Copies of this chain bind each other. A is one copy, B any other.
Amino acid sequence: MRIAVDVMGGDHGPHVIVPGALEAARSLGIGLALVGQEAIVRAELAKHRHDGIDLAVVDAPDVVEMTDHAVSAARRKPKSSMAVALRMVKDGEAEAMVSAGHSGAVMATALMILGRVPGIERPALATVLPTLTGRVLVLDLGAVTDPRATHLVDFALMGSIYAHDVLGIAEPTVGLLSNGTEAGKGNQLVNEVHPLLVDLDGITFSGNIEGNDITQGVVDVVVTDGFTGNITLKVAEGVASLVTRALREEVTRTFPRKVAALMLRPAFDALRKRFDYRESGGAPLLGINGPAIVAHGRSDERAIASAIRVAHQFASGGTIDRFAGIAERRRAVVTGTAQ
């Protein structure tokens, strides 16, 4: 197994991506293709031991900036590091790709190069969030802002298969995000999707869930439209950051508090680790015809290594082959509806 890593993405770039990738390759015993501007990649590589790792450096002269428009980046930068890495997956030279770059651009480029899994109309961006009891997969996070009901049926099936194969959850439960748990609560889209998910074969549907149920760990997979999913993720990040910043302010307000806070350092570190995006391993593009993982823009070495581990798992299990059966299951529930 070889994983193609986009070395140019993320806030910290090659400086953290190269060592993170080397660490993951060593611990997983896999090969690496480090894709980026060759001189920069080689300069970074020279700083680290990499003996015994099956390693290729692949030149990609174009760089996608965070300010680029997603679709323009995909079209106008065919030799960007994300495009070259995705083409390696397409050509069978790598089994998966990882990028910490512009997630919209990775999605647009992946759609252009790898295309969709046959039968899946719209790919989704998913991510794993921490809960009180474990973790939860949430999708879509913004790939499809105005989906049709059938798209959410596909998201439910893809999320369920991914949670099983990659997160190792034997029988994942699926919740439909709404503004009330009762059937009949929700906006028009939710009210169209709900009965389809009730009838759908191949998922364990728990019905509608509310926003606070996500972090309670009530279900394993949360399905929503990309607009709501993006806002959910950002609100969660914003509130977690607000509470932890306020905590830091309060525990350092006086000298005695600072002393006590020092004694609680291990507790605060453990807390941070529990809500650390670096542990989550990045966001898979579900429905793209090849395993691709977007790592968080703020990723450090550990986050990159974690994303590569997830990509390895995603590519190992035949997950995408199983996505190919989704269209048929969807058609079984929409027969007779106006889809």
State the A residues within 8 Å of B (CB): 130-132, 142, 145-146, 177-180, 186-188, 190, 210-216, 225-228, 230-247, 250-251, 253, 256-257, 259-261, 263-264, 266-268, 270-271, 274-275
Contact = CB atoms under 8 A, between A and B. Distances in A.
Contacts of A211: 230-238
Contact of A270 (B131, B241, B250, B264): B250
What does DSSP make chain A's interface, helix, strand, loop or mixed?
helix
A132 B275 CA distance: 19
B260 A274 contact: no
A73 B305 CA distance: 55
Nearest to A232: B235
B227 A213 contact: no
Nearest to A250: B267
Nearest to A261: B264
Given A132-B245, A216-B238, A246-B274, 5 more contacts: A179-B227, A215-B238, A235-B239, A246-B271, A260-B261
Contacts of A271: 243, 246-247, 250
Most chain-B Cβ atoms within 10 A of its Cβ — which of A227, A235, A246?
A235
A270 B252 CA distance: 12
A246 B275 contact: yes
Contacts of A246: 132, 271, 274-275
B215 A242 contact: yes
B225 A213 contact: no
A246 B274 CA distance: 8
Contact of A228 (B231, B247, B266): B231
8 contacts: A187-B225, A187-B227, A211-B233, A211-B238, A212-B235, A212-B237, A235-B235, A257-B264
A138 to B, nearest CB: 10
Most chain-B Cβ atoms within 10 A of its Cβ — which of A240, A257, A264, A275?
A264
Contact of A241 (B179, B212, B242): B212
Contacts of A236: 211, 235, 239
Given A186-B145, A261-B264, A271-B247, A228 B227 contact: yes
B238 A240 contact: no
Nearest to A142: B179
A215 B270 CA distance: 24
A224 B227 CA distance: 12
